[in-house]
Amino acid sequence: MKKIFTQLFCGIWLIVLFSPMALKAQSKAIDSGYRSDGYVARLEKFKTDPISKNDVVFLGNSITAGTNWAKLLDMPRAINRGISGDITFGILNRLQEIIDANPRKIFILIGTNDIAREIPDAVIVENYKRMLERIKAGSSSKVYFFTILPVNKNTNFQKHKGKAEHINRINSEMKKLASKRVKVIDLYSYFVDGEGQLKENLSYDGLHLNEAGYQEWAKILRDGDYLK
């Protein structure tokens, strides 16, 4: 009798433990409201450089923010909308300004900070889809997604280390978003070395790009005729 009671108790406990509510309680909450320290200040700065219909907008995090796109591409109306530390939820929060301006092209590189903050891959991909839905519904802008760049194992950014599996999975799903109006540019393949690491000669810290890295990025855009 005691054995039967023990088995019954264990069975009930397993059901409770793996019930939807229990699993939800065990899962880590997604910090969709996270905004980097400089987020608000950058938004204020953007107001001094409004977007027009003929512009080409580069939207993303610190990797996008780290260069002068107008100078790099010799395009006076290449507009930088990068914010250091930004995540996909931050992009969604500030996307309307860009949609309303209806620029000619929107280039988006975002996701590496989401991965570092342990936002689930499926949520990141879903946020890409939300971006596309809103852009398509509210503008005629052409959209270009860049695949997430690799990270070098020697970087000091600890939260970004060991995330190659996530990067590759998200990049694979991103490529499925390509359509007549949406292009996916596989930036990753140009920046990864034979060991799956960010090429050391294109970065100064294993995560962010140096001048050679940005020159490589510009070459990819020109060679692919993505700027016309």
Any idea which fold 31-223 has? Rossmann fold (3.40.50)
User: Burial level of 92, CB count in 10 A (0-12/13-18/19+)?
Assistant: middle
Of 125 and 13, the structure prediction assigns the larger pLDDT to 125
Kindly give, in sequence order, each residue whose CB lies less than 8 Å from that of residue 174, ignoring residues fewer than 6 positions away: 125, 128, 145, 147, 148, 184
Q: Are 188 and 148 in contact (CB under 8 A)?
A: yes
The secondary structure of residue 198, as a DSSP letter, is: B
**Per-residue pLDDT reduced to its tens digit, 18-74:** 344 333 333 568 989 999 999 999 999 999 999 999 999 999 999 999 999 999 999
Tokens 């140009």 appear where?
A: 190
What ranges do the domains of the chain cover? Answer: 1-30, 31-223
Q: End-to-end alpha-carbon separation of the chain, Å? A: 79
pLDDT (tens digit per residue) in 62-90: 999 999 999 999 999 999 999 999 999 99
Answer yes or no: is pLDDT of 1 > 90.
Answer: no
Distance CA(162)–CA(224), nearest Å, equals 31
Length of the chain counted residue by residue: 228
